[in-house]
Amino acid sequence: MTKLSVNINKIATLRNARGGNVPNLIQVAKDVQKFGAQGITIHPRPDERHIRYQDAYDLKPIVSTEYNIEGNPMDNFMQLVLEIKPTQVTLVPDAVGAITSNAGWDTVKHKDYLKEIISEFKRNGIRTSVFVDPTLKMIQGAAEIGTDRIELYTEEFAKQYSMGKKEAIKPYTDCAILANKLNLGINAGHDLSLENIAFFKENIPSLLEVSIGHALICEALYDGLEKVISEYLKKLS
C-alpha cells in the first residue's frame, strides 16, 4: 500500500488567520493519525505564514507515524531538522516569497550542494527525499547525490488529468521505472486529490508515499476529515 502523509499547513493557515489556537494544530495531527493516515507533513517557510518553527518542535512528540518536514535547506531550516530529527526531510527549492512549491531541483546543476546537504542529514539518521520534476535527467541526477528517495512534482499531471488528458501520466511512469532501477524510493505530491490519486497510483510502480494537503483539506470541508482520509486510504490500497 502507498502511504498517505497528510500535509497540515492549511490547518496552520486557518489558525493564523484569526490568531489564537483554533483550529488546534496539535489536535488535528492527532486526529489525522487516529483516522488512519500513515504520516504528517509540514512545510515551514521563513516567514512562518502557516507552520511556525515552534509548531515543528511541538509536533515532534505527537507524531507517532512518520514525520516529514519539507523545505529549502537554508541555515534555519537545517538547524530545525537536525534538532528535531524527523523520519524524513524533503528538500524543496522554493523561493522565499513563493506562495507554494512550483519547481523541482535541478539535480545536475546543484549536484555538489545537494550531496553536501544530504550527507549531513544522513549522518544524523534522517531519511532524505528530493523534490524533482518528472524528467529522466533529474532522476539520474538524484541517484548521484545520495538521496534515499525522490518526490515527483505532480502539478502538471493534475492539471492535464483534470482536462481529460490521461497521457500526462507517461513521463511520471517513465521516471518511476528509472528510479526503481536506480534503487531510489518514490514519493509524490502537489495537487493530487481524490479525483486523480487512484489513476496516479495505478501507473506509478512502487509508489511509496504521497503527501497531500490542500486538496484533502478542501475536500474535508464538505465531507469531513475522517471520511476523506478513509477514501484516500481505499484508493491507495
What are the binding residues for 1-deoxy-D-xylulose 5-phosphate?
45, 50, 100
Q: What is the pLDDT of residue 95?
A: 65
Q: What does the block give as the cell for 210?
A: 504521497
Q: Could you tell me if 28 and 40 are in contact, meaning their C-beta atoms sit under 8 angstroms apart? A: no
Q: What does the block give as the cell for 114?
A: 545537494
Domain count, the chain: 1
Q: Of residues 43, 66, 209, 219, which has the active-site annotation?
A: 43
Give one word for 20, left, alpha or beta, with left for phi > 0 and alpha for psi -120 to 50. Answer: left
pLDDT at 157 over 90: yes
* CATH number for 199: 3.20.20.70
Q: Of residues 83, 151, 167, 190, which has the active-site annotation?
A: 190
Q: What is the pLDDT of residue 103?
A: 80
What are the binding residues?
7, 18, 45, 50, 100, 191, 213-214
Q: Of residues 70, 151, 209, 219, which has the active-site annotation?
A: 70
Q: What is the pLDDT of residue 97?
A: 54
User: Is 110 known to be catalytic?
Assistant: no
DSSP class of residue 154? -
User: Is 231 known to be catalytic?
Assistant: no
The single-letter code of the amino acid at 96 is V
Q: Could you tell me if 179 and 192 are in contact, meaning their C-beta atoms sit under 8 angstroms apart? A: no
Confidence of residue 110 (pLDDT cuts 50, 70, 90): very high
The mean pLDDT of 48-55, rounded to a whole number, is: 96
**Residue-range definition of the domain harbouring residue 83:** 3-236
pLDDT at 99 over 60: no
Q: Can you give the pTM of this predicted structure? A: 0.95
How far is the C-alpha of 81 from the C-alpha of 89, rounded, in Å?
7
